[in-house]
Amino acid sequence: MARCLRALLVFLAIGLMAIGAARADEPPRRIVSVAPSITEMLYALGLGDRVVGVTEFCHYPPEVREKPKIGSYLRPNIETVLAMQPDLVVVLREHGALAVRLRNVGLSVFELQHNDLGGIYGSLLSLGERASVEDVAKRRVGEIKQFLEGVSAKTASLPRRSVMFIVGRTPGTIQDLVVVGRGSFLNELIAIAGGRNVFADAPSFYPRIPREEIYARRPDVIIDMGDMADTDDVAEEHKRSVAQLWKQIPSLPAVQEGRVYPVAEDIFVVPGPRVIETAQSLFRMIHPEAAQ
């Protein structure tokens, strides 16, 4: 029975390909998002009422939790997507073969890439054009740029504190560290917020580093969300245990000065319109004396 249903859905989708192609230039009315960053962008552009499906990891804005789910970020259920009858599915280029699979069953797919700030601006503008809300997109991008320029102006005369931002590690240990490297939106925001990423010279967005590198780089500020990938359910007690963990290395300036910050908010892992909040939060951690 399940196989028959799958076959029927695919048949119907392929049968509608010609109709979908004829309407490719029309603003989409039923949109499926395949990433939290895409979902946040759609809502920021005022398109939330057109969103008919999101991933299990889409948490913001709060009302998105009530939207039908298509599965995980890495493995969305294509049959579920088909059943939602979207006229546009928005994916990331990092999804790779997923876009091909979606197109093969007759769905209209729109691909985005936004690992850095330029990409975020570009994706907002591209989505705005595709959904016929160009003015909203231009205004939103202008607001983000203006805010970040304001933060940069505040930090221009402040000392550049060295920052290590950890996005992955073995739970309960200071081992197998994955940090923010060059090219990522977090690397750019650290600089805007008055910091200097100690791994800005790394060859990738999020490199894995040996523990010994921490001693060599001696960060003034440590921001750690290494074992808190599930940002939706992190207890304060767990954050305190993370801060306690770093006392194993008392020689680090960040530990000596009490500048170790465990974090577990989506704003640090979702490159989207809330980079405004990310910059604010980084500013408070890097320069608490100036952020009062």
Model confidence pLDDT, tens digit, residues 106-151? 999 999 999 999 999 999 999 999 999 999 999 999 999 999 999 9
More confident position, 95 or 280: 280
Among 34, 111, 110, 113, smallest CA distance to 72 is for 34
User: Do 30 and 19 touch, CB atoms closer than 8 A?
Assistant: no
Mean pLDDT for the stretch of residues 198-209: 93
Q: Report pLDDT for 233.
A: 65
197 within 8 A of 163, measured Cβ to Cβ: yes
How confident is the model at residue 17, as a pLDDT?
43
What pLDDT band is residue 209 in, cutting at 50, 70 and 90?
very high
Average pLDDT over the chain, rounded to an integer: 89
| Percent residues over pLDDT 70 in the chain | 88
Q: Residue 101, Cβ neighbours under 10 Å: how many?
A: 14
Tokens of 116: 């850095």
Name the phi and psi angles at 45, rounded to 5.
-90, 5
Cα–Cα distance, 17 to 13 (Å, whole number): 7
Q: Above 60 in pLDDT, residue 15?
A: no
220 pLDDT band, cuts 50/70/90, is: very high
What's the whole-number mean pLDDT along residues 269-291? 95
Res 18: pLDDT = 38
What does the alpha-carbon distance between residue 43 and residue 205 come to, in Å, rounded to a whole number? 27
* First vs last C-alpha separation in the chain: 63
Distance between CA 5 and CA 56 in Å, rounded? 24
Q: Give the residue-averaged pLDDT of 86-100.
A: 92
Work out the average pLDDT over 78-101: 93
CA dihedral 215, 217, 223, 224 (to 10 degrees): -40
Asked if pLDDT for residue 6 goes beyond 70, the answer is no
| Domains of the chain and CATH, by start | 2-113 (3.40.50.1980), 158-286 (3.40.50.1980)
Q: Are 189 and 170 in contact (CB under 8 A)?
A: no
3-state secondary structure of 202: coil
Adjacent-strand bridge partners of 177 = 209
Q: Are 275 and 190 in contact (CB under 8 A)?
A: no
H-helix or E-strand containing 122? helix 117-130
Q: Is pLDDT at 155 greater than 70 in this prediction?
A: yes
Lowest mean pLDDT among 73-77, 80-84, 189-193, 277-281: 73-77
Amino acid letter, 284: R
Alpha carbon of residue 188 to chain centroid:
14
Q: How far is residue 265's CA from residue 286's CA, in Å, rounded to a whole number?
A: 17
**The pLDDT of residue 1 is above 50:** no
pLDDT per residue as tens digits for the range 27-84: 999 999 999 999 999 999 999 999 999 999 999 999 999 999 999 888 899 999 999 9
